[in-house]
Amino acid sequence: MSRILIVEDETAIADLEKDYLELSGFEVEVENDGMTGLARALAEEFDLFILDLMLPGTDGFEICKQIRERKNTPILMVSAKKDDIDKIRGLGLGADDYVTKPFSPSELVARVKAHLARYERLVGSNIVENDIIEIRGIKIDKTARRVWVNGEEKQFTTKEFDLLTFLAENPNHVYTKEELFREIWDMESIGDIATVTVHIKKIREKIEMDTAKPQYIETIWGVGYRFKL
């Protein structure tokens, strides 16, 4: 549920805004004083702010400016005077919208919804989920380059990680040591297919319960290796 803070000294207006927003399913907090409003705006998590311009303590200009220095949360400014709104726009304090009193409560609710939806899209688009592979107790986070075996994190060198990830991403496919060497090590790398054998051994020590009877990376005699699905 979205949480909204209203900073408004006229209680009748604050109550009206609160009632309409609560009817629309929002959680609403009200502060009648600028100082307290600013303190809560900075200290607590809100999804949107509705700020009156003329307030005792600290005015709406200052609250807007201070919120914007720290947060990207949508801000709706409310003012009795059209002139004040032109002034706020001119100051470029970073408010997202301006409403002149008297306004229709349903218009305010519509604007609140529009700004919340827009903000959620904006925030949502920045969240990139980590790329994760999970196979029978092994979890590989490709983005963070971390590996867990039955919930316990294990440390891998860069090449061990690359080799394990490559095999796990292509399960049930048998690769020869030559193919794996070409895939994981670049052409200039010093080493040969014995490097692959050494790395497979190191990986098995970290992921297998019994390295003599591997459950994950199988040796296909005379051919190479396969990650068992």
**Count, residues near Ca ion per rule CB under 5 A:** 3
* Cβ-contact 94, 61 below 8 angstroms: no
Closest distance of CB 9 from Ca ion, Å: 5
Q: What backbone phi and psi angles, to 5 degrees, belong to 125? A: -70, -15
CB neighbours of 211 closer than 8 A, spacing ≥ 6? Answer: 201, 204, 205
Query: Of 16, 30, 35, 54, which one interacts with Ca ion (CB under 5 A)?
Result: 54
Q: Which is nearer to Ca ion, 60 or 74 (CB)?
A: 60
Closest distance of CB 77 from Ca ion, Å: 11
- In the bound state, the residue with its beta carbon closest to Ca ion is 54
CA–CA gap between residue 182 and residue 65 (Å, rounded) = 57
Could you say whether residue 47 binds Ca ion (CB under 5 A)? no
CA–CA gap between residue 3 and residue 22 (Å, rounded) = 10
Could you say whether residue 17 binds Ca ion (CB under 5 A)? no
Q: Which stretch binds Ca ion (CB under 5 A): 12-20, 49-57, 67-75, 185-193?
A: 49-57
Nearest by Cα to 71 from 92, 44, 53: 44
Q: What residues line the site for Ca ion (CB under 5 A)?
A: 9, 52, 54
